[in-house]
């Protein structure tokens, strides 16, 4: 009987120690995951604005500490509402994924983050805006960078989606993203609908070539680009004027 009690006591002690260790490890990993998730936004913003934080294969070449320093020292963030007006008392760091991706009954989102970068040498500014919407199977998220004229696209990065690999999932590949550079969202001072057309057709300043057999994904991307840019454009109008 005594031996059984000792065995049970030993097993209980081992379980308690293991539980404690697992709790410590989980807590440590959770903090690391949260830090990495916060840094992911910074990396995407810096990257779409043309700053060197990734290599040719998309791997991060700066430490998390360097990313934070670059972002803090070079990027100004602000939050807009669905009318393109600045929201006081809310910073881009306060925003959750739901805040900037979930569409309300109005069809708009609650908040629209805006990031501004000023080149220290030329003084020119670039603006990074967040866009998202349904593709074929999932919500597709992206950052678009605008030149200082606030109508010419300087970069596009798609991320965090569950579109079909080899089809709609190709939106994150360079051959698709690089097409956006130099395209325009306005013509003669007015918004121009951006389009994604069938591969092989001739493109112009306001469209790019789509992806074969990924029409639904491309249609979704086109829709949310135009819808979200309208909100940001209302704020850009206040700068232009």
CA proximity to 128, closest of 141, 138, 110, 137: 141
Query: What band does 171 get if pLDDT is binned at 50, 70 and 90?
Result: very high
Q: Judge whether 191 lies within some domain.
A: yes
Q: Judge whether 30 lies within some domain.
A: no
d(CA 45, CA 74): 11
Is the per-residue pLDDT at 184 higher than 60?
yes
Q: Judge whether 92 lies within some domain.
A: yes
Is the per-residue pLDDT at 47 higher than 70?
yes
d(CA 124, CA 137): 38
d(CA 76, CA 116): 5
d(CA 222, CA 20): 50
Kind of pairing, strands 75-80 and 139-146? Answer: unpaired
108-167 pLDDT, tens per residue? 999 999 999 999 888 899 999 999 999 999 999 999 999 999 999 999 999 999 999 999
Report the chain's C-alpha Rg in angstroms. 23
Is the per-residue pLDDT at 186 higher than 80?
yes
CA proximity to 225, closest of 143, 138, 107: 143
Average pLDDT on 18-34 reads 54
For the record, the structure tokens of 206 come out as 């306001």
d(CA 28, CA 23): 9
Q: Judge whether 31 lies within some domain.
A: no
For residue 85, what is the enclosing H or E element?
none
User: 124 in the Ramachandran plot: left (φ > 0), alpha (ψ -120 to 50) or beta?
Assistant: beta
Is the per-residue pLDDT at 192 higher than 90?
yes
Is the per-residue pLDDT at 29 higher than 50?
no
Average pLDDT of the chain? 89
Average pLDDT on 157-185 reads 96
**Secondary structure (3-state) at 96:** coil
d(CA 30, CA 107): 33
Domain encompassing residue 114: 43-240
Q: Judge whether 33 lies within some domain.
A: no
Query: What local confidence, expressed as pLDDT, does residue 1 receive?
Result: 56
Specify the higher pLDDT residue, 140 or 241: 140
62-81 pLDDT, tens per residue? 999 999 999 999 999 999 99
Q: Judge whether 89 lies within some domain.
A: yes
Q: Judge whether 80 lies within some domain.
A: yes
Domains contained in the chain, number: 1
d(CA 187, CA 13): 72
218-236 pLDDT, tens per residue? 999 999 999 999 999 999 9
d(CA 82, CA 96): 16
Q: Which of 33-42, 90-99, 177-186 has the lowest mean pLDDT?
A: 33-42
Query: What band does 240 get if pLDDT is binned at 50, 70 and 90?
Result: confident
Query: What local confidence, expressed as pLDDT, does residue 28 receive?
Result: 45
d(CA 129, CA 44): 11
Specify the higher pLDDT residue, 56 or 179: 179
Q: Judge whether 17 lies within some domain.
A: no
d(CA 60, CA 94): 24
């Amino acid at each position: 009987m005594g031996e059984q009690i000792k065995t049970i006591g030993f097993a209980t002690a081992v379980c308690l120690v293991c539980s404690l260790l697992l709790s410590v490890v989980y807590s440590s990993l959770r903090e690391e995951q949260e830090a990495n998730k916060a840094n992911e936004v910074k990396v995407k913003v810096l990257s779409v604005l043309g700053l060197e934080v990734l290599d040719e294969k998309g791997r991060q070449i700066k430490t998390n500490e360097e990313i934070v320093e670059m972002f803090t020292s070079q990027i100004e963030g602000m939050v807009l509402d669905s009318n393109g007006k600045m929201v006081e008392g809310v910073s881009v760091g306060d925003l959750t994924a739901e805040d900037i991706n979930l569409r309300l009954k109005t069809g708009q989102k609650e908040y629209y983050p805006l990031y501004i970068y000023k080149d220290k040498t030329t003084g020119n500014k670039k603006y990074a805006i967040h866009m998202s919407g349904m593709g074929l199977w999932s919500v597709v998220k992206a950052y678009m960078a605008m030149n200082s004229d606030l109508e010419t696209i300087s970069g596009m990065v798609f991320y965090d989606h569950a579109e079909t690999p080899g089809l709609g999932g190709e939106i994150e590949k360079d051959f698709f993203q690089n097409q956006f550079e130099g395209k325009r969202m306005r013509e003669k001072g007015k918004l121009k609908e951006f389009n994604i057309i069938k591969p092989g057709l001739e493109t112009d300043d306001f469209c790019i070539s789509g992806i074969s057999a990924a029409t639904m994904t491309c249609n979704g991307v086109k829709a949310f680009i135009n819808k979200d840019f309208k909100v940001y454009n209302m704020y850009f109008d206040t700068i232009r004027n």
